[in-house]
Amino acid sequence: MERDLEQLNSALNSVKILRSNVRRVFESVSNGLRADHGDDGKESKYILELQELLTTVNNNLRDVENSMSNLTPPPGPFSLGNTTYLSQETTQERQALYGQLVNTYKWTDKIREYSALAGNILAANSFNKTYKTFSTTKRRKTQTSNHNVPPEVIENLITSIDRLFPDVTITTNSPFVPNPVIQGRVLKAIIAFKGLMIEWVVVKAHAESNDLWTESRYKVFRKVTENCHAAMCHFYSPMMPELAVRSFLHWFHSYNTLFSAPCKRCANHLHNNLPPTWRDLRNLEPYHEECK
Ligand SMILES: [Zn+2]
C-alpha cells in the first residue's frame, strides 16, 4: 500500500513535469523569433532552442511511461453504488452532495472504528449486574441494534415475561408503541420501551390513570417510581437487553410485598409513615429509604 502510494505520487509528479515542459514548447512556438536571439543566424538559434525543448519533452514522456508501467492497475471498475448517479445531477445546489456524502461516509467509518474499540474496552471491564438465574441460550444471540426492533419482538418478550410471573398481569394498550402496563397485587407500573430497552417507568395506584407523563399522587408510589429509575439504570445492558428487562422485572416483582413485608434492618413496617420502599438489587430484600 505504502509502496503503491509512493509510485502513484512519483507518476503524478512526472506528469506534472511533462505538462510544464510541453507548455514551454508552446510558449516558444507562439512567441516565434525574439529579440534575445540576436541578429546573426537567429533562425538556427531558434530551431536549436526548440529542439532542446522537444528533447526535454521526449525525456519527460519516457519518464511518465516508465512510472506508469510501475503502477498496478485497479482490479476492476470501482463500484460506487447509487452515488454514481450524483454525477448526472444538474441542479447547482445538489452538485456539492458528493463531497458531503464522502464526508459522511468517513464519519460513519470512524464511528464504527471507535465504537468497536470502546466495545472491546467495555467488554474487558464488564461487571455482572444482571441475575444469572435468567441465563438462557437466547441471550448469546448478538443483536445489531436494540433501538430499532419490530414491535413483535417486544411483544414476544413481554408475553414470555408475563408467563414467568403468574400473579402479575401485563397488558399492552397500543399496537404500535407498546407501553405495557404491569399490574401487581398492590400497584401497577407503566413502562415505556425504546426498542428492547426500558426507557421510563411510572408506578401508580390501581385507581390512577395509565398516563406515562403524570406521577402518582401517593408519596409511596412516587418513592417506588424513583427507586425503579435507579434500578432501570442499574440493570441497563445494551449488549443483553432482554436479560436486562427480565432482571428489572424480576426485581420489580418483589414489590408485591410492598405493604406486607417488614424492613430487613429495623424490622418495622412503617418508618416516617412509609413502608419499605427500597428492594435490594441483589437479594431483593425490603428496606426503608433510611435503612438501606
Ligand atoms: Zn427500616
Q: Measured in angstroms, how far is the CA atom of residue 262 from the centroid of ligand 1?
A: 8
Residues with CB under 5 A from ligand 1 (ion): 263, 265-266, 271, 288, 291
Q: Is the pLDDT score of 252 beyond 80?
A: yes
Q: Measured in angstroms, how far is the CA atom of residue 96 from the centroid of ligand 1?
A: 67
Q: Is the pLDDT score of 162 beyond 70?
A: yes
Q: What is the mean pLDDT of residues 118-133?
A: 69
Give the model's confidence band at 176: pLDDT under 50 very low, under 70 low, under 90 confident, else very high.
Answer: low
Instruction: For residue range 180-192, list pLDDT tens digits in order.
Output: 788 888 899 988 8
Give CA–CA dist 194/178, Å, rounded: 9
Q: 186: which 3 cell numbers?
A: 398492590
DSSP string, the chain: -HHHHHHHHHHHHHHHHHHHHHHHHHHHHHH-S-GGG-STTHHHHHHHHHHHHHHHHHHHHHHHHHHHHHSPPPSS----GGGGGGGG--SGGGTTHHHHHHHHHHHHHHHHHHHHHHHHHHHHT----S-GGG--GGGGS--S-SSS--HHHHHHHHHHHHHH-TT-EEEE--SSS--EEEE-SS-EEEEEEETTEEEEEEEE-TTS---SSS--SSHHHHHHHHHHHHHHHHH--TTSHHHHHHHHHHHHHGGGGTTTSPPTTT--S-BTTB---EE-TTT--EE-TTT-
Q: 69: which 3 cell numbers?
A: 508501467
Q: Measured in angstroms, how far is the CA atom of residue 276 from the centroid of ligand 1?
A: 6
Average pLDDT over the chain, rounded to whole?
84
Q: Measured in angstroms, how far is the CA atom of residue 164 from the centroid of ligand 1?
A: 30
More confident residue, 85 or 135: 85
Q: Measured in angstroms, how far is the CA atom of residue 253 from the centroid of ligand 1?
A: 20
The number of beta carbons lying within 10 Å of the beta carbon of residue 131 is: 17
Residue 128: per-residue pLDDT: 57
Q: What is the mean pLDDT of residues 148-159?
A: 78
Is residue 204 exposed (0-12), middle (13-18) or buried (19+ Cβ within 10 Å)? buried
Q: Is the pLDDT score of 102 beyond 70?
A: yes
Residue 51: per-residue pLDDT: 94
More confident residue, 110 or 5: 110
More confident residue, 141 or 11: 11
Q: Measured in angstroms, how far is the CA atom of residue 264 from the centroid of ligand 1?
A: 7
Instruction: For residue range 279-289, list pLDDT tens digits in order.
Output: 999 999 999 99
Domain residue extents for the chain: 2-69, 151-287
Q: Measured in angstroms, how far is the CA atom of residue 277 from the centroid of ligand 1?
A: 10
Q: Measured in angstroms, how far is the CA atom of residue 147 from the centroid of ligand 1?
A: 39
Residue 108's alpha-carbon distances to 81, 94, 142, in angstroms, are 17, 21, 21
Q: Measured in angstroms, how far is the CA atom of residue 263 from the centroid of ligand 1?
A: 4
Q: Give residues with Cβ within 8 angstroms of 122, minimum separation 6.
A: none
User: For the ranges 66-75, 146-155, 240-249, which has the lowest average pLDDT?
Assistant: 146-155
Give the model's confidence band at 81: pLDDT under 50 very low, under 70 low, under 90 confident, else very high.
Answer: confident
Identify any residues that bridge with 189 across adjacent strands, giving them in sequence order.
Answer: 182, 203
Q: Is the pTM of this model over 0.75?
A: no
Q: Give residues with Cβ within 8 angstroms of 113, minimum separation 6.
A: none
Q: What is the mean pLDDT of residues 117-130?
A: 74
